A and B are shown apart, each in its own frame.
Chain A
Amino acid sequence: MTTLVATNRPAAVSSEDLLSPSWAEVVDIKQEIEKTGTVWLRFKDPALQKAYTFAPGQFNMLFLPGYGEAAISICSDGEKRDTIGHTVRFVGNVTNAISRLKAGDTIGLRGPFGTHWPIEQLEGKDILLAAGGIGLPPLRPVIYHILRHRAKFGKVILLYGARTPSDLLYTAEFEEWRKADIDIQVTVDRADDTWKGQVGVVPLLFYRYRFDAAKTAVMTCGPEIMIRFVVFEALARRIPADQIFVSLERNMKCGQGSCGHCQLGPFFVCKDGPVFPFSAIEPYFSVEEF
């Protein structure tokens, strides 16, 4: 089963130091929606900040002394190298502590880890992005990449769903993305009085389109149940399984396929993923509780 090629580690990140953090300063923290915010970081060591690169879809381990560490995907533009953004949903001990950070505070960072969305291999294709809830932040660096190289891609569609209208992320940017000819379809599970858009789950949005299956690549991130049905809809439209890319979530501790927590069959999701071609994980993804 072929997984994606490992993303090159920035030369400045020593392989001897992968188990201990480097320190970064909180440049800004911005509330996005209720219980979710984006924390912008800059390494205290300017040389490290300068040398630090990541690819869309990779993640960092964020460490708050006394609280612990959490795997958070990078949501910022890989070409804007002065700060590193992480949109965090405040649900657990570490992420709630992150929510209380202020500009100037210190945080530990290890990374970047994992494979990336293989966007550089998908030039010339129609791109379908399908995101649910907090699954949009790991895809945002791909959108920034597409905006920068828009002519290299065919149709670009973003299907995005959240529980309610007030749970939608990054809506202020949608207009700019639409101007760059990204077709954005938004749906919510439960509407409120203000909502004039689509109601229902993300996979339902597939019915609005006819796809050129051989020319289309899918990238999806969100709740596992949503991923399952997005993949189902894509396969039903004859989009090849090796052109469907999914980003998975697992308990992660080390980030380099050593501690064993994130295993899915033969894969360490932190190292061989989080981004997989569906063809690689197909035999295991369908097994319940595996």
Chain B
Amino acid sequence: MAELHLNIGTIAALPKAQLDTILSRLREKGYRTVGPRIRDDAVVCGPIAGLADLPQGLTSVENAGQYRIVPSGNKRYFDITPGAQSWKQFFFPPRVSLFTARKNGNWNVEKPSEPAPQIAMIGVRPCDIAAIKIQDMAFMRDDFTDPLYRDRRKNAFLVAVNCLHPGGTCFCDSMGTGPKAGGDFDLALTELDDVFILEIGSEAGKEIVKGMPLQPADASLQQKADQGLAAAREKMGRRMDVRDLPDLILKNLNHPEWEAVAKRCMSCASCTLVCPTCFCWDTQDHTSLDGNETERERVWDSCFNPGFSYQAGGNTRPNTRSRYRQWLSHKLGSWKEQYGVLGCVGCGRCITWCPVKIDITEQVAALRKEARS
């Protein structure tokens, strides 16, 4: 067997059973291997010891306010799109300690000392890679880098999976983030019926697969993968016309549609929690009864929460109309000026998990009607 010369960008055929080897090698290097697992009839990010833990033969059906897991009719492991959870929980934990202030004669500040976890993320979709890159821009800026985020991000190993089976609320093709990962992974997999096509994305990725029985991916395999990706683009459950974003939003901040959507929106914050790019956070101080110890935690916050814009002078955004407008006009509008990209990657989670079926792609279309340009 000819030894395949491995480099960043090398593409090879990986027998499916070999994914177990990759996982065990990652664990040997100290990574916790985390990937798609079924819990309570939904996909969550859970511990993955091997192939047996993956949701083989299953797929998900999504629509606005709807999510079901059904048999896929094949034996693939990654035909199921992500559930409500995104990977942001591992870099930007929903609840994390910032410091503890303790009075022992004098007041002191102690910062959490445990090292950031080392997590290998298995099955990161191209949209979610794009989302991670977007959160990188928010948490690792030139003028301020969040140490908690940075340490977790630095420690991660990303195994991407290209999407051959997009969900009913997916629109990554419109946002230019998928269905194929363009980079920023350590390893990427494209799953065909009997083999993975593996792409090496980094030195760390190369190190993990070194010495494994990799075969060159012949042209017919690559063709199958390309056909699958082309078909996936056609099968996107949603589309979003992004041509005139962010201007469409920022020039229509008084559009009647904001009032209309506010009549349906419950300000429940679901969309911001499932969104893989939403980065807003709040602080909570927890104080001991004797008052000598206060722990400050950082928790996820949402622009839909009434307290989000509350200050002594009153509430800047006192109603659902202004809060929904803040969310959408940030995500698809002012985000671009802040970070140079839109804040939406087309993962569709906010559509799937909205209890009242508000659909971000429909909202953009509705704004376009009677829009001022």
Contact = CB atoms under 8 A, between A and B. Distances in A.
A104 interface: no
Contacts of A65: 101, 103, 107, 285, 287, 291, 293-294
A283 B282 CA distance: 27
A4 interface: no
Category for how many chain A residues contact B: 35 or more
Contacts of A6: 143
A289 B147 CA distance: 33
A108 B308 CA distance: 23
Interface centre among A19, A63, A223, A257 (most CB of B within 10 A): A19
Contacts, number: 121
Given A263-B326, A289-B316, A21 B101 contact: yes
A91 B311 CA distance: 10
A253 B280 CA distance: 10
B146 A258 contact: yes
Interface stretch (B209-217, B330-338, B361-369): B330-338
Contacts of B337: 1, 265-266
B106 A23 contact: yes
Tell me what chain A mostly uses at the interface: helix, strand, loop, or mixed.
loop
B144 A257 contact: yes
Nearest to B309: A251
Given A287-B253, A287-B254, A290-B325, A249 B313 contact: yes
B223 interface: no
Given A259-B301, A287-B253, 6 more contacts: A1-B337, A20-B109, A250-B311, A260-B303, A261-B309, A289-B321
9 contacts: A20-B99, A65-B101, A65-B293, A249-B313, A250-B316, A251-B308, A257-B144, A258-B281, A289-B316
Closest 8 CB pairs of A and B: A260-B280, A266-B337, A289-B322, A266-B334, A20-B99, A65-B294, A66-B287, A256-B144
Interface of A: 1, 6, 15-16, 18-23, 44, 63, 65-66, 68-69, 89, 91-92, 95, 106, 108, 223-224, 249-251, 253-254, 256-261, 263, 265-266, 271, 283, 287-290
